[in-house]
Structures are given as structure tokens and as C-alpha cells.
């Protein structure tokens, strides 16, 4: 059954949409696995993954089946009632992680909002209103609500919207001495991305996360890991904290959790969770049956030894080839990241040109991302096929060769 729609085109964006985005010049209309087609029928290989969201590519059969089944069963019921998909997904997340309790919401920003509010509430209840300070990292990204841009360490996202949330300070990332100097008994939480995503795909040093854990314990502060981008299999472990062996008190997840269907989750212990008693926090759509049914299928599909091993294997494939391309054209100074969240750092001669690289790549038929103006980012499906990796990187190399000639 196919509905006849009015024709629309890219130019309509400029006429009808709030101009807070600058989308590419073509409009994708269909996807299958790691390939996408635009309105003109042109095919592209997708290494952008909807910004680290399409963890199983496009239209994965397991996700289509889960969504279709749920679409014919129950869409929405509100939190006045609970529902089976939410209970199943919560149980599975608890079984698979440190967490004992789950709060569902609809995005990464909302998962962080819940995490930060919980951290403040716990400190308030246990130690009083003075203990409300949050320490986060310079250049971190935690979402676009006012609380999350205030915690995020990038003034360009938080300036110009009136008074920010108070009691937040920022320290350089991967600098344990700076964190040690900043933390005090007034600190209620230290918030870190185990891999800083938006600001250039920067993995934490092992000693940094271990040290942060110890400092938090010494000061009765909670350690919050924002795994919205680096979690759900992307690091090669289900969550990046498992890769490091450093367990947070609160973890936020979103992006890959829904594989393209909007969902977010905050994971924590029972002891902390009890501070969000009835009425303290909520959201209409959180734990929506459609979102949770898809999330369950994502978790079932990615949390297997085969997929995890595949991520390591594909990481090596990307890294080797990107290093070779980097060397041949003097493009990259470093290729870094964990699993299938990879950042290729532009060499001095190319600094600031990440957007030009991704535009050229799209022209050659491969979608990649930037993470700051100096880093080209790859966040493909965890089950991207070898053929697509090779063909996509061939196209990427053609784009780079063309840019290098110009």
C-alpha cells in the first residue's frame, strides 16, 4: 500500500524550515543496509550512520519486524500504565550492565537531563543544597537543552540564551590533575564522555577514567558517563565503560539504542534511583512501546560475541586503509577512536577543511561526518559489510585525490 505524496525538494527546506541546520544539497529517500538512495536515484554508501545512530544500518530486518509487529499491537499508552516492551528492554539492559534501574526518555539530551537532575537530587537529599556543583570537560557535548548545553563544554552552544544553569565548571579533558584541583566536597557529579564524540573523537586515557572514579569516591560525588554516542556496541563492547573497566554511577544512552527510532535511557543503581520518587521527574513518551520494541531488537541483535568481534575487525580495516590514504595524500596526522567510532585528524595543511572533505566524499557517493572542523568522523553500521567498507573507502579515496589535486 503506497500513499501518493505531494512532490517536495531540497529548496523547500529553505522556505519552510527553521534555518538551524544546513542539510546537504540532495534528499535521501530510501536506505537498505549501508546504502542510501537520493531523490534522483543516486546511490551512496553510508559511513555517517545518521550520526552514530543507525547501528544496524537501514531497514535491518530484525528492527523492521519488531517495529511492524508493535505498530500493529500498541503504539502509546503513557506512563499512567506500564507496557511490555519497556519492561522487557529495561530487564535486558539491567541484565547486561552495572545498572539495576532504567529510566526511559526520547533523546540523548533527555537522558542527560535526567542524569544531571538525579545527581543533584541525590546530593541534595544526602548532603544538603550546598552540594550541587557539576564538573564536566572542556569541549564535551551533552545535548541542546539549557541544562545540557550548560554542562557541555562549548560556549558556542550555550551563549546567547540568557542565564545559564549555575554551579557548573569545566576542566580540560584527559587532565587528571585539573580534575583533582577542581573537585571538592561541593561536587555532586563529574560528567564525562568515555570517548568525546562531537569534539573530535577523543578517547579517554585509561588512567584518567580510573582516576576520576577514585576522586568521585573520595568526595562523595557521582560519576556520570555520557555514552549517548560511544555506547551500544560502538566501542566493541556493549558500553565503553566495559572497555575501560571503570563503572559509572549513572550512564546515559540514546542514539544507537534505537537504531534510528528515537529513544533515550538513563541507567543507574537502585540506591540512587530511589531519589527520583513518584512525581519528581517524567516525560510523556518515555518508554513508548514502539521505541522500546525497537530498542529491544537492537540490543538482542548487537549484544552478541559475533557482532562485538566484527566491530574490532572492521575497526582494523578502516584504520589501516585510512592511515594509508592519509599517508599518500598527506591528509591525516592521526587516526583514532574506539571500534566503529573513528576520527581521522586532519594534518596541518588540511586543518579546518573537514566540511570540504565530507562534501567531496558525498559527491563521490560516500557519506561521512565531521567532528569539529579538523576531524573527519566515521560512524558506520556495526554490521557494515566488507564489500561496502572497501567500496566506500575507494570512493573516499577518490574524493581525497580530487581535493588534493585542486
Nearer to ligand PLP, 261 or 318 (CB): 261
Identify the residue among 44, 89, 228, 393 touching ligand PLP (CB under 6 A). 228
Q: Is 287 helix (H, G, I), strand (E, B) or coil?
A: coil
**73 in a labelled binding site:** no
Q: What single string gives the DSSP state of each residue in 385-403?
A: -HHHHHHHHHHHHHHHHHH
Identify the residue among 103, 116, 141, 318 touching ligand PLP (CB under 6 A). 141
Query: Which of these segments, 31-39, 66-74, 224-232, 387-395, binds ligand PLP (CB under 6 A)?
Result: 224-232
Q: How many residues bind ligand PLP (CB under 6 A)?
A: 15
**283 in a labelled binding site:** yes
Identify the residue among 46, 226, 364, 388 touching ligand PLP (CB under 6 A). 226
How many CB atoms are located within 10 Å of the residue 145 CB?
17
Beta-sheet pairing, 133-137 with 195-196: unpaired
Identify the residue among 49, 50, 57, 143 touching ligand PLP (CB under 6 A). 143
**Taking phi first (over 0 means left), then psi (-120 to 50 degrees means alpha), and beta for anything else, what does residue 200 get?**
left
Q: What distance in Å separates the CA atoms of residue 182 and residue 177, rounded to the nearest whole number?
A: 9
| Interface of this chain with ligand PLP, residues 75 to 134, rule: CB under 6 A | 107-109, 112
| Interface of this chain with ligand PLP, residues 184 to 213, rule: CB under 6 A | 193, 197-198
Identify the residue among 229, 253, 256, 301 touching ligand PLP (CB under 6 A). 229
Tell me which H or E stretch contains 311.
helix 305-329
**229 in a labelled binding site:** yes
Phi, psi (degrees; rounded to nearest 5) at 104: -95, 145
The number of CA neighbours under 13 Å toward the Cβ of 91 is: 7
Q: Is 242 helix (H, G, I), strand (E, B) or coil?
A: helix
Across 347-383, where does the E strand assignment appear? 366-367, 369-370, 375-378
**By CB under 6 A, residue 396 contacts ligand PLP:** no
**109 in a labelled binding site:** yes
Nearer to ligand PLP, 93 or 331 (CB): 93
**328 in a labelled binding site:** no
Residue numbers in the known binding site are 108-109, 141, 144, 226-229, 283-284
- Contact positions vs ligand PLP (CB under 6 A): 107-109, 112, 141-143, 193, 197-198, 226, 228-229, 254-255
Amino acid at each position: 500500500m503506497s500513499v501518493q505524496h505531494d512532490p517536495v525538494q531540497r529548496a523547500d527546506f529553505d522556505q519552510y524550515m527553521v534555518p538551524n541546520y544546513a542539510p546537504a544539497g540532495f534528499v535521501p529517500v530510501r536506505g537498505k543496509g549501508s546504502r542510501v538512495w537520493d531523490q534522483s536515484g543516486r546511490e551512496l554508501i553510508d559511513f555517517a550512520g545518521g550520526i552514530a545512530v543507525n547501528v544496524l544500518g537501514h531497514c535491518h530486518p530484525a528492527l523492521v519486524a519488531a517495529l511492524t509487529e508493535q505498530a500493529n499491537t500498541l503504539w502509546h499508552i503513557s506512563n499512567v500504565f506500564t507496557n511490555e516492551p519497556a519492561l522487557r528492554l529495561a530487564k535486558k539492559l539491567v541484565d547486561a550492565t552495572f545498572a539495576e534501574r532504567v529510566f526511559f526518555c526520547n533523546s540523548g539530551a533527555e537522558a542527560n537531563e535526567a542524569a544531571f537532575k538525579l545527581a543533584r537530587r541525590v546530593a541534595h537529599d544526602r548532603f544538603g543544597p550546598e552540594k550541587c556543583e557539576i564538573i564536566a570537560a572542556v569541549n564535551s557535548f551533552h545535548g541542546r537543552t539549557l541544562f545540557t548545553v550548560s554542562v557541555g563544554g562549548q560556549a558556542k552552544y550555550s551563549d546567547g540564551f540568557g542565564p545559564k544553569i549555575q554551579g557548573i565548571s569545566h576542566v580540560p579533558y584527559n587532565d587528571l590533575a585539573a580534575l583533582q584541583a577542581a573537585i571538592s566536597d561541593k561536587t555532586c557529579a563529574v560528567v564525562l564522555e568515555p570517548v568525546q564524540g562531537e569534539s573530535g573523537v577523543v578517547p579517554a586515557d585509561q588512567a584518567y577514567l580510573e582516576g576520576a572514579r577514585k576522586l568521585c569516591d573520595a568526595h562523595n560525588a557521582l560519576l556520570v558517563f555520557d555514552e549517548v554516542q560511544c555506547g551500544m556496541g560502538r566501542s566493541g563492547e556493549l558500553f565503553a565503560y566495559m572497555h575501560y573497566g571503570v563503572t559509572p554511577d549513572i550512564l546515559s544512552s540514546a542514539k544507537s539504542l534505537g537504531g534510528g527510532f528515537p529513544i533515550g535511557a538513563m541507567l543507574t543503581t537502585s540506591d540512587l534511583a530511589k531519589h527520583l520518587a513518584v512525581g519528581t521527574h517524567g516525560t510523556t513518551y518515555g518508554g513508548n512501546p514502539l521505541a522500546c520494541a525497537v530498542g529491544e531488537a537492537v540490543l538482542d541483535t548487537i549484544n552478541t560475541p559475533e557482532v562485538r568481534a566484527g566491530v574490532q575487525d572492521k575497526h582494523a580495516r578502516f584504520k589501516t586503509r585510512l592511515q594509508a590514504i592519509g599517508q599518500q595524500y598527506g591528509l591525516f596526522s592521526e587516526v583514532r577512536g574506539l571500534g566503529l567510532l573513528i576520527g581521522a585528524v586532519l594534518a596541518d595543511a588540511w586543518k579546518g577543511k573537514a566540511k570540504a572533505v565530507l562534501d567531496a566524499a558525498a559527491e563521490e557517493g560516500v557519506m561521512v561526518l565531521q567532528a569539529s572542523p579538523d576531524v573527519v568522523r566515521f560512524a558506520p553500521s556495526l554490521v557494515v559489510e566488507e564489500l561496502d567498507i572497501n567500496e566506500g573507502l575507494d570512493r573516499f579515496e577518490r574524493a581525497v585525490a580530487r581535493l588534493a589535486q585542486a
